[in-house]
A and B are shown apart, each in its own frame.
Chain A
Amino acid sequence: GENVEQHPSTLSVQEGDSAVIKCTYSDSASNYFPWYKQELGKRPQLIIDIRSNVGEKKDQRIAVTLNKTAKHFSLHITETQPEDSAVYFCAASGTGANSKLTFGKGITLSVRP
């Protein structure tokens, strides 16, 4: 089955700097890659996603890039703010009737004021 890994497990940046979080996946058939943000004690919320027919997608300060050849995708956050501090999960999914999302273990991002 699919295996999704996130590196590093924690990341600390200075407010205003950029943060990049990378995920790798194992199943070359995967074609949907969402990113979720989870604040302490709250539900995960989708912040951006990308499908395999697109190499990059942007939404204001957030962007995701996908490299299908290398089987990795990355979340880029520019001009980080303290409210960006949270756990970020990446996930991957294939197609098919019983395909399902496989999540990475999460990365804790801390933005220092």
Chain B
Amino acid sequence: DGGITQSPKYLFRKEGQNVTLSCEQNLNHDAMYWYRQDPGQGLRLIYYSQIVNDFQKGDIAEGYSVSREKKESFPLTVTSAQKNPTAFYLCASSMGTSVETQYFGPGTRLLVL
């Protein structure tokens, strides 16, 4: 899992602002995922992508957007439409489908000013 990096470690968002979280992997994994973690809520899937230039909504996609222009990169944008963005955001990747082991990045903590 050392091959997955996320930046920044902490991010502050102002009202009405869009912010973008970075996720990069050098594991040559096809699939990448974004999860949101709130205290006592476990991990909830926001978006996932199994191949370049294609992605699917997860369980809580509203207020978020993604792109997958390169195999190694899967940035997540938290838009102003997301009214409660404060959370710990985790990116993960796997070789292929979800039946493969997912490896997580170190996470980005997003706080609202």
Contacts and interface: CB of A to CB of B under 8 A. Distances in A.
Binding between chains A and B:
yes
Interface of A: 1, 9, 31-32, 34, 36, 42-46, 49, 51, 89, 91, 93-106
Q: Max chain B CB contacts within 10 Å: which of A43, A98, A104? A: A43
Contacts of B44: 103
Nearest to B48: A100
Contacts of B35: 103
A95 B90 CA distance: 23
Contacts of B101: 34, 46, 49
A43 B98 contact: no
A44 B97 contact: no
Given A43-B90, A89-B43, A101 B104 contact: no
B102 A101 contact: yes
Interface of B: 1, 33, 35, 40-45, 48, 50, 56, 58-59, 90, 97-99, 101-107
A104 B42 contact: yes
B98 A101 contact: yes
Nearest to B103: A46
A98 B42 CA distance: 21
A46 B48 CA distance: 19
Contact of A42 (B41, B98, B106): B106
Nearest to B41: A105
A103 B104 CA distance: 14
B99 A43 contact: no
B14 to A, nearest CB: 24
A31 B99 CA distance: 8
A68 to B, nearest CB: 15
Nearest to B94: A101
B98 A99 contact: yes
Contacts of A99: 97-99
B5 to A, nearest CB: 11
